[in-house]
Amino acid sequence: MALYTVCQKVDVPPSTEGRISLLSVKSAQTFRLRWVYVQCSVGSEFRLGISLYSGIRQVCPDVGLVYDDGAGVELQDDTVFPSGDEVSLYYVNEDPANPHSAFVMIEGEIES
């Protein structure tokens, strides 16, 4: 078992949503997500939402999105991503006029 950390900054234009890959689980391995940290830019006024997916299933948070305005949000998790799966970051900027950014860090264990 090896500790694995991924950090990603995402810049989101106004009224935009999308998804990016954070980690693809290699063959014969699993990834156990343990901890998630999300910090949106100060001034985002809770208009930038973030969540993590395993394939098409939302895993963190279980429902809804994480919103922040610069303070940072920590979430504990225990989701296992099987071999060949992908940890992806979903984002939506609900502000029609301003771009916003977020810093996302995930930590977990790679198991062979």
- Compute the 3-state secondary structure of the chain and give helix, strand, coil in percent, each to the nearest 5: 0, 65, 35
pTM tops 0.95: no
CATH 3.60.20.10 fits 2-111, yes or no: no
Domain ranges of the chain: 2-111
- Residue 69 DSSP one-character state: S
Q: What is the pLDDT along the chain (112 residues), one digit of tens a residue?
A: 789 999 999 999 999 999 999 999 999 999 999 999 999 999 999 999 999 999 889 999 999 999 999 999 999 999 999 999 999 999 999 999 999 999 999 999 998 8
Note whether 31 and 23 are within 8 A (CB): yes
How far apart, in whole angstroms, are the C-alpha atoms of residue 30 and residue 20?
A: 20
